[in-house]
Homo-oligomer: A and B are copies of this chain.
Amino acid sequence: MSQTLPNVPIQSTMMDFPLTIPYILERVNTYFGTNEVVSMIPAGRDAQGRPIPHIHRYTYHDMYRRTKQLAQALQDAGIQKGDRVATFATNHFRHLEAYFAIPCVGAVLHTLNIRLHLEQIIYIVNHAQDRILLIDNVLAAVLPALLPHCPSIEKVIVMGPLPSAVPGVLDYENWISLYNPDEFRYPQIDEKDACGMCYTSGTTGNPKGVVYSHRSSVLHCMGTALPSALAFSSADRLLPIVPMFHVMAWGFPWSAPFMGTSLVFASVFSDGPSLAKLMQDEKVTISAGVPTIWMGLLVELEQAKAAGTPYALEHLKSMVVGGSAAPESLIRSFDPFGIRLLHAWGMTETSPLGTASRPPVGVDFESDAGYQYRAKQGQAVPLIDIRVIDEHNHDVPSDGHSMGRLLIRGAWVTESYYLDEEGTRKSQVELEGPLGKQIWFDTGDIATLDHQGYMTIEDRAKDLVKSGGEWISSVELENALMGHPAVLQAAVIAVCHPKWDERPLAVVVKKPGAEVTPDELRAFLEPKFAKFWLPDAYEFIDAIPLTSTGKFLKRALREQFKDYVLL
């Protein structure tokens, strides 16, 4: 073969331009410095002990300068590249400053989930070896129980005023006031350097840590803001109700400033009336939360409307829902208010945005087909790939009903867990695809795909009922049962069966004062499911045990009913 080409392989002439959080901080100050950050924060308590809301308001210019003060304070405290700095806090402007200052000194923002049990928090702090802890004043009561078990923590900074000085802790405002923002210098940061970390709180085993990079976080910002994903820009005012102590509040503390979007925070105020008023007063255009938050808001909007004093929410164009599946009925209920619920799906391991559900071209959002699409978890957003595979690691048909394990790859998906070889090994699947052999992350979810790639989560893998080689979705049965007027809560679990291996048992909590029989529930389910899906038995209990994040603790139910004999 004759060589006719130049000897030097061609190289791209493009600049090296690292994707880093410092770029975002500089950008928001340059272009959107006059846009706002509004925080509804607690200021004391009323006679009933409830927090009194106070509105704090400043601009991104203010945020920029205070963030640089905090960054300097961190450097002065000896924080260096790769060090972990923890936060234990709700959503507000000081937490936002920490979201930027910590990565901007090259350190790792470690957001602790305030809803975990103390033992889990202690495990996590020790596993991460956090050096500094920034904590909300309203959460500071945990310190005496926490600190003695966390020897890595050298300094505790309290965000928000304390009634009186506490020995050994620093006040955030006093601390940062010592520093001149103009003197701060960024360290050299590579885009693959760690910038943040979160631990997942599984129902079994120790929490597992995920470490985000500057690159993955910046790309996640770009992906979430796209029109085909969550769609926001400098014209928007965004209220993230999803907490900054869990999955980085879906990345909004970084993506909103990146896009110039004004931010509105609600701190501890997540009840319907507080949120409705905040959305109205601050002309919020987009918000994000879990289904239970939107259920609370819906009650408030309907009551206010019935009372002839509806909220003025004409600016609110969309509310993103995630965390768990939103029933189609909830999505429908908001449309009369002119508010579009948009389903998204993701997890700690995926930064979190994996999919978003908008109906395909030509399907009206408010048609029956449109609602069906909107109740799915949706299509993978740009730079994310998903697959659904069977037990033999083959792709299941994209027919909308073949279930399989949901795998994900992408520019902001984890490949491993932090210092956890066993967790890493269990979560990785190596698979051949169009782009070659690659590592995929096994979500632990069971899902279906339709022919346009719309994904629906059917179950957690461990909660699936495997009956005679067929899979039965506990989630679908539960959602149907909870549509019965007498049912408050329902959980479906697998129990052993001599012939079919497993069969579904429905565990039901009746609404107060309501009555219903197993036969009535079976008759209610029959038209909706194939016969072999119907639970073999129904047990009525007083309450379903919950996890720290409010999900059904099915492990406890399985334990309780482990010797159950199906008749």
Please tell me if A9 contacts chain B, counting CB pairs below 8 Å: yes
Docked-complex contact B1 and A126, CB < 8 angstroms: yes
Chain B residues with Cβ below 8 Å from A347 are: none
- Give the number of times this chain occurs in the complex, counting copies: 2
A418 contacts chain B at the CB level, 8 A cutoff: yes
User: Do A436 and B228 form a contact, CB below 8 Å, given A13-B416, A15-B441, A211-B14?
Assistant: no
Tell me whether B12 and A258 are in contact (CB under 8 A).
no
Stretch at the interface among A241-249, A304-312, A405-413: A405-413
Q: Which of A184-232 contact B (CB under 8 A)?
A: 186, 188, 192-195, 209-213, 215-216, 219, 222-223, 225-228, 231-232
Minimum C-beta distance from A25 to chain B (A):
9
Q: A13 contacts which of B78, B410, B418 (Cβ < 8 Å)?
A: B418
Q: A32-49: which have CB < 8 Å to B? A: 33-35
A209: B residues at CB distance < 8 A: 13
Contact A409 B17 (CB under 8 A): yes
Beta-carbon contact of A5 and B419 below 8 Å: yes
Is A361 in contact with B234, judged by CB distance below 8 angstroms? yes
Contact code string A391-431 (vs B, CB < 8 Å = 1, else 0): 00000000000000000011111111111000000000000
Given known contacts A186-B434, A435-B22, A192 and B12 CB-to-CB distance under 8 angstroms: yes
Interface of A with B (CB < 8 Å)? 1, 3-6, 9-17, 19-20, 22-23, 26-27, 30-31, 33-35, 78, 81-84, 108, 122-123, 126-127, 129, 131, 152, 186, 188, 192-195, 209-213, 215-216, 219, 222-223, 225-228, 231-235, 258-260, 262, 358, 360-361, 379-380, 382-383, 385, 409-419, 434-436, 439, 441, 452-453
* Residue from B15, B122, B232 in contact with A439 in the complex, judged by beta carbons closer than 8 Å: B15
Given A5-B419, A382-B222 in contact, is the A413-B227 Cβ separation under 8 Å?
A: no
B383 A12 Cβ-Cβ under 8 A: no
Q: Is the CB of A383 within 8 A of B9?
A: no
Decide if A411 touches B17 in the complex (CB within 8 Å): yes
Evaluate contact between B13 and A382: CB separation under 8 angstroms. no
Closest to A452 in B: B31
Given contacts A10-B84, A227-B235, 10 further A-B contacts (CB under 8 A): A1-B78, A10-B82, A12-B212, A13-B415, A14-B213, A14-B414, A22-B435, A26-B435, A186-B436, A222-B226
Q: Pick 27 A–B contacts, CB within 8 A, sort by A.
A: A1-B78, A1-B123, A5-B131, A6-B129, A9-B82, A12-B216, A13-B210, A13-B211, A13-B414, A14-B192, A14-B211, A15-B411, A15-B414, A19-B411, A20-B435, A22-B434, A27-B382, A31-B379, A31-B380, A35-B361, A222-B222, A222-B226, A222-B382, A225-B226, A226-B227, A234-B358, A258-B382
